[in-house]
Structure 1
């Protein structure tokens, strides 16, 4: 199957595998810092995200499990202990990471803790397949069937399960923050009428509904070299960034003339202005996370086809079996309710959430009610700045909180 820029999504892993070469100063620092990071990783693996990255800063944090209607047992962290009247916020991470990605900076620069300090009841979701969401009521991750899902299933099952649980616990409408894939899940869900009755407002950081204008040369090179072998190499099972097949792929890609692996971070995400070495170092201690190969293929279909559609099985009969039509249905973003408060922020240096693609998304939202759609553009920001930027509190998070407060 010719999948344009499929390799791009796979090569995102290089950011994580090759951090020492990519982040000047990432291996420098005191032995105390390195020991603290090592302890955080051990704590995360043994006890979960709360103990590793939240309670150490003096915040209350609960580890919770939520079971989807198709049997996946998801990890959710609740920060701040709730409390009467506190408005709930669900935070959804992107692809190849988990909720720990939001917690890489000091508390005063970290979105979930800033939200908790601002009086919100914070819930961090972890998608199926990530390290603390690798359980199922009847299947084991060693079974390839465990991985037979794409991001369609995150839309249909994961997000609704977390929303239902949070709504059941709080009895309030919910604010939502998504980054990267977390924005795609929300947009697709809303286009199908899901979550609408439970939502109060939505904040989308670096939205990726469309990916036609990704400004990276690596995707094209990788697709030309490896597109034909990707499904046979990985099947529809686990896409493990630390696994041998992916490592071999990356080695081959970096050996290709014209692929600048020496500066892969900038090439993949854009020139992030505001990450420091210790943040990247800690991030690399906790990430990357697995996902399904089918999800990677599905994302590549979005790039290739230039439209937002459900997983295309590549055969008329299989599509008909799953959808009752010979082609995969589209997610119609024009069906997103016009009265839903939405805050969208994107960056001028973002190689993934390109300005042209965001403009296309905004075209679908042009009929939004006056005052219900706020769009913010940060010229110097690239993709990772929105999650780990040292100045994101001033440039992004304070605006998100202000927007949420206006909807109360």
Structure 2
């Protein structure tokens, strides 16, 4: 039971990406051996298992990034009635430890991908590297440590860039709407701050927006950060951060046993008290999630939480940073450089312990000169982190206002 709860809470941590095909990992922590076995990716993919089963047409695509990762992508070009999309394309980008199934887990009248398709949008679903259906690479196997040598810097520079360009090109050079949740917002903010992708984007809807993590009030998440949990796993040689594996479960269990850490409800302890989740979907959720990510990626996020900054990965010493960046400290992503005329819809919650209100206000301070008619900020007092993608009321509370924003742009 604890392992299931640990998996669930880590899924929503920064959602605050299963392991390589047909492989077993054995490791030892404090003399205790553990084993993690992952299943091979299903041959039918997300379209058949999650979309076509609901009566929708769905097409599977693959996209290869400049650094060789082969990503899966799904397209929903019609409503369930068969009516073709007559609205612009929308790309959905999931958060950490998740994949594109994020947008399909609830019923069709509650899941954003289905809702958009019914409203006439051409829906595209992205899946980042390392997730179950995006394990391919032109030369590396997920069994190779080098496969997992990346952070969200690379997700921004390669994955989201390749996904946006693919949709743009496949739809006849149409500009697209972008929707991201949590880590899916972080990579977007970073890209926009470098003036990347902007020429292909109509607008961006950023749910549970994360640019800064320094004020994150979750005591358990803070304990994991301060205990260097991800660094410990990395130096044990586990470059893949597998939430269902014993290494992560054991270290988190140790954190839960520390005085002051209440693990009776792990999900709420990490994400905040979500108001509107459908508990009947938990089994379906756990059937598909959580997904793996790179341990190095978790280290990068922990660096952000410790320092309160948004910067590239810190290699820990001036020499290594000089080798990678040509300067002794990692370059900063400057949020004030986001183009002021880029239409942005930001939605955040008062109960969210990951996309914390203070951190969001820090971000909004950097956007204070944004064109007033191009920035909509929505605050939902009772929402926590997972409500924005799994909440049964999100259609009314978030998606309707978001689509109204889309129609303006």
- 1:146-166 CA-to-partner distances (Å, cap 9, x unmatched) read 011110000100011011111
Corresponding residue for 2:19? none
Paired residues, what number? 374
Greater helix fraction, Structure 1 or Structure 2: 1
Q: Say whether residues 1:57 and 2:58 are aligned partners.
A: no
> How far is the alpha carbon of 1:45 from its aligned partner?
2.7
1:264-283 mapped onto 2 (5 Å cutoff): 264-283=266-285
Instruction: Give, in angstroms, the shift of residue 104 of structure 1.
Output: 1.3
TM-superposed deviation, 1:254: 2.4
Correspondent of 2:374 among 372, 375, 383: 372
On the 8 A contact 2:271/2:386 being kept in 1, the answer is yes
Distance 1:57 1:226, change over 3 A: same
What is the Cα deviation at residue 256 of structure 1? Answer: 2.3
Please tell me whether the aligned partners of residues 73 and 136 of structure 1 are also in contact (alpha carbons under 8 angstroms): yes
Q: TM-score, normalised by structure 2?
A: 0.87
| In structure 2, distance between residues paired with 1:215 and 1:403 | 31
Kept in 2, the 8 Å contact 1:44–1:51? The answer is no
Quote how far apart the aligned CAs of 1:77 are: 0.6
Change (3 A) 1:43 1:251: closer
Which segment drifts farther, 257-266 or 362-371? 257-266
Question: Where does residue 7 of structure 1 map in the other structure?
Answer: none
Q: In 2, distance between residues paired with 1:206 and 1:252?
A: 28
List per-residue Cα deviations over 1:318-347 (Å, max 9, x = no partner): 111111111100001111100011000000
Q: 1:202 to 1:17 in 2, by over 3 A?
A: closer
Q: Partner of 1:66 in structure 2? A: 63
Does the CA-based 8 Å contact 1:55-1:61 persist in structure 2? yes
Distance 1:263 1:351 in 2: 14
Q: 1:121 to 1:362 in 2, by over 3 A?
A: same
Q: Structure 2: how far apart are the matches of 1:183 and 1:16? A: 18
What is the SS of the residue equivalent to 1:112? helix
Counterpart secondary structure, 1:73: strand
In 2, the alpha carbon distance for the partners of 1:247 and 1:184 equals 26
Q: Name 1:314's counterpart in structure 2.
A: 316
What do residues 67-87 of structure 1 show as CA deviations (whole Å, max 9, x unaligned)? 001100001010125957530
CA distance in 2, matches of 1:279, 1:376: 27
Contact 1:205 1:344 in 2 (8 A): yes
Q: Partner of 1:21 in structure 2? A: none
The root-mean-square deviation of aligned C-alpha atoms, in Å, is 2.1
Work out whether residues 147 and 236 of structure 1, in 8 Å CA contact, stay in contact via their aligned partners in 2.
no
SS in 2 for 1:297: helix
Partner of 1:169: 170
What is the CA distance between 1:208 and its match in structure 2? 1.0
| Shift of residue 92, structure 1, vs aligned partner | 0.3
Deviations 1:107-126 (A, max 9, x none): 01110110111111111100
Q: CA deviation at 1:231?
A: 5.1
Structure 1 position 399 matched with structure 2 position 401: yes
Q: Which residue is 2:115 aligned to?
A: 114
